[in-house]
Structure 1
Amino acid sequence: MKKSLKAFLVLITPMLFLLIVTGCNKAKSAEALAENLITVKETSVLVSKEKSLTIDTADYDKRMLALSNKDTTGRWPVKAPYPLPGAVLPYNRIIAFYGNLYSKRMGILGELPKQEMLKKLQGEVAKWQAADPTVKTIPALHYIATTAQGKPGKDNKYRMRLATRQIDTVIKWAKPINALVFVDIQVGHSTVKDEVVPLEKFLILPNVHLGIDPEFSMKNGEVPGTKIGTFNAEDINDAIDFLANLVRKNNLPPKILIVHRFTQGMVRGYEKIKKVPEVQVVMDMDGFGDKVLKKSTYLRYIFREPVQFTGFKLFYKNDIKKDSNGMYTPEELLKFKPQPIYIQYQ
């Protein structure tokens, strides 16, 4: 098992060595800014309506129990405060395409042309909806906004904040298909607290949420990609506090926080991670490998260390390499305890 796990952890990390045009414009264009402001204005009406409602707690409990998939260990469903009205989970299952517009090697978002990518995403959404008609399935675009780097950079942080105009582009792409948007950060030698601040102007939009990746959090000065990094509960709580404050200040529906994980050490102190009405936390089973290994990882690090909701990552290429038995199907993943409510394709 140890040998196979080692193979499992040999992840593709081309993002560490991205060559970005040095003249990247970090300022949002007037056109993009205006469009985002229109989005805020349009959704504010919907948010205010949602805020006037109350959570049907009996319905919420029923849905959470269904997600636990008849777990008998007492771990699932997790006890937590009820979310604020307007919560996405557990009322929807999110199917997300992950990647970066600067690289075709970082994921399906960025690998395919826009229209081909969106059509493929909608196809995956349809498959999941057919597999589980009891939960509405919705699309999402999960964009890596800050990438870890193999070199220190000007501020010696081993991370690069990419041009915000690319985030504007992803938000535009999401609008016609009513998709959520996730902005993802790889902190390198920086911190979650410092890296979420530049994204506030996007996170105040009701349909934009956050992802954080412990794999590239190098607390002891290592170069990203040379070992697997880690977040402790305090790091994750910094993200939760930031999002919760945005929700309260801007009268928003709850935000979703995705935390990637595929080893024991990537997340430390899971039991200390906050559970608040303003933020819904998803522990996403990351990493590639054959089905047996991926299920084992899910059981070890997601099922046994419950936080709130669970996710599962599928790799179009690395899950179907030679001697592999292919990617998990929706029908197969729906048999897991608990059922993942967030599915990410790379």
Structure 2
Amino acid sequence: MRYKHTLLIAATLGIFTLGCSQNSGKAGDKTKNEKQAAEGADSTSSETSSAYKPVDTAAYNQKIKDLANGDTSGYWPVKKQPYPLPGAILPFKRIIAYYGNLYSKRMGVLGEYPPNEMLSRLDKEVKHWEKADPKTPVQPALHYIAVVAQGDGGKDGKYRFRMPDKQIDSVLKIAKKREAIVFLDIQVALSDIRTELPLLEKYLKLPHVHLGIDPEFSMKTGAKPGTRIGTYDAADINYCSEFLAKLVKENNLPPKVFTVHRFTRKMVTNSQNIKLRPEVQIVMHMDGWGEPELKKGTYRHWIYPEPVQFTGFKLFYKNDLKKAPNRMMTPEELLKLKPQPIYIQYQ
């Protein structure tokens, strides 16, 4: 499903029905969860700048327990995860992000409105979340698609378009108006993450710039983006995490937040092998659109039973309204989920 303009394709195919809301979606076994968590515990801390406040481990433990929201399955909170380095955002703040691309008004709210109007709308969402959960401060964010899957193969036939530096610089300037952090999102299409990620290194060296990757547009079969749903393996996610950890250690940065989009099982394979590190905070982000029950079903089947570290949830100003009851989920509803998402993205 492509947009009609000549450059960019849709940034999401939405929740394909595929039985998501009806699928029994058996949760992964506890042994796999414990193995994954134990792997994370192998990580060791590294030195960071004293400019960042050390993590209060007791407060951290309490907060991840609170995010589990009374879950008794044994999945949440993730056990034996490493404590983050000083300056960690999660789980102490909830990230509220606006998503999109400056070239397109149809890929998300970030590019749909002039910057000041967009920021004003973001302010309202921030206030809503502060009211819904006054115990958790809000960190505003702009989540910018820096490498965009497209319908045109381009000169190299990779079906992706890299945003010019001036566009990324513009997003950084806009974000500064609200002291917002920035996520650079990568849709590799027929390229690969090992080629695309290093090209953004100079931006990821900045303390307020973080990373998102989108398996939906990782087309390992050679299919054109937008015709099928792509995939990443734990090995790809571990490559990104290791890349980020290296930047954190070499540049004395606070931990990077790393979001991975997901709305089907096959979008992320071997999740039990994802390695946790004190330099990186991983968010498995429920990225599908649809009516509230369908969205909750997707979260329950693909995010809840395969715990990694933290979770996210995406809301669509337009696509979530396409079917009855024709409304978006509210912060109050999302806070009832197990676990509670700590990263919320609006498109």
TM bucket (normalised to shorter chain) is 0.7 to 0.9
Residues 78 and 151 of structure 1: CA distance in aligned 2, closer, same or farther (over 3 Å): same
| Cα contact 1:15–1:148 (8 A) shared by 2 | no
Q: 1:118: which partner in 2?
A: 119
Residues 13 and 281 of structure 1: CA distance in aligned 2, closer, same or farther (over 3 Å): farther
Structure 2 gaps of 5+ residues are 10-47
1:118 alignment partner, SS class: helix
Post-superposition Cα deviations, 1:119-157, rounded to whole Å, max 9, x if no partner, equal: 000110000010001110121000000011223211221
Q: 1:69: which partner in 2?
A: 69
Q: 1:187: which partner in 2?
A: 188
Q: 1:58: which partner in 2?
A: 58
Aligned pairs for 1:133-144 (under 5 A) are 133-144=134-145
| Cα contact 2:248–2:279 (8 A) shared by 1 | yes
Query: Which structure: greater helix fraction?
Result: 1
| 2:214 corresponds to 1:225 | no
Q: 1:82: which partner in 2?
A: 83
Residues 206 and 269 of structure 1: CA distance in aligned 2, closer, same or farther (over 3 Å): same
Aligned pairs for 1:238-317 (under 5 A) are 238-317=239-318
| Cα contact 1:145–1:184 (8 A) shared by 2 | yes
Q: 1:8: which partner in 2?
A: none
1:117 alignment partner, SS class: helix
Out of 315-324 and 70-79, give the one that drifted further. Answer: 315-324
RMSD between aligned alpha carbons? Answer: 1.6
Residues 81 and 289 of structure 1: CA distance in aligned 2, closer, same or farther (over 3 Å): same
| CA apart distance, 1:164 | 1.3
Residues 65 and 16 of structure 1: CA distance in aligned 2, closer, same or farther (over 3 Å): farther
- Whole-Å Cα distance in 2 between the matches of residues 198 and 54 of structure 1? 31
| Cα contact 2:75–2:307 (8 A) shared by 1 | yes
| CA apart distance, 1:13 | 4.5
Structure 1 gaps of 5+ residues are 1-11, 21-46
Out of 318-327 and 138-147, give the one that drifted further. Answer: 318-327
Q: 1:37: which partner in 2?
A: none
| CA apart distance, 1:88 | 0.5
Q: TM-score, normalised by structure 1?
A: 0.86
Post-superposition Cα deviations, 1:266-288, rounded to whole Å, max 9, x if no partner, equal: 00011001100000000110011
How many residues get paired?
308
- Whole-Å Cα distance in 1 between the matches of residues 119 and 54 of structure 2? 34
| CA apart distance, 1:311 | 0.3
Q: Which amino acid aligns with 1:331?
A: E
Q: Which amino acid aligns with 1:242?
A: F
- Whole-Å Cα distance in 2 between the matches of residues 180 and 54 of structure 1? 20
| CA apart distance, 1:19 | 6.1
Q: 2:201: which partner in 1?
A: 200
| 2:18 corresponds to 1:18 | no
Post-superposition Cα deviations, 1:20-66, rounded to whole Å, max 9, x if no partner, equal: 9xxxxxxxxxxxxxxxxxxxxxxxxxx73344x43221111001000
| 2:340 corresponds to 1:339 | yes
- Whole-Å Cα distance in 2 between the matches of residues 316 and 272 of structure 1? 34
- Whole-Å Cα distance in 2 between the matches of residues 64 and 14 of structure 1? 40
- Whole-Å Cα distance in 2 between the matches of residues 232 and 337 of structure 1? 25
Post-superposition Cα deviations, 1:76-96, rounded to whole Å, max 9, x if no partner, equal: 011211110100100100000
| CA apart distance, 1:325 | 3.9
Q: TM-score, normalised by structure 2?
A: 0.86
1:146 alignment partner, SS class: strand
| CA apart distance, 1:191 | 1.2
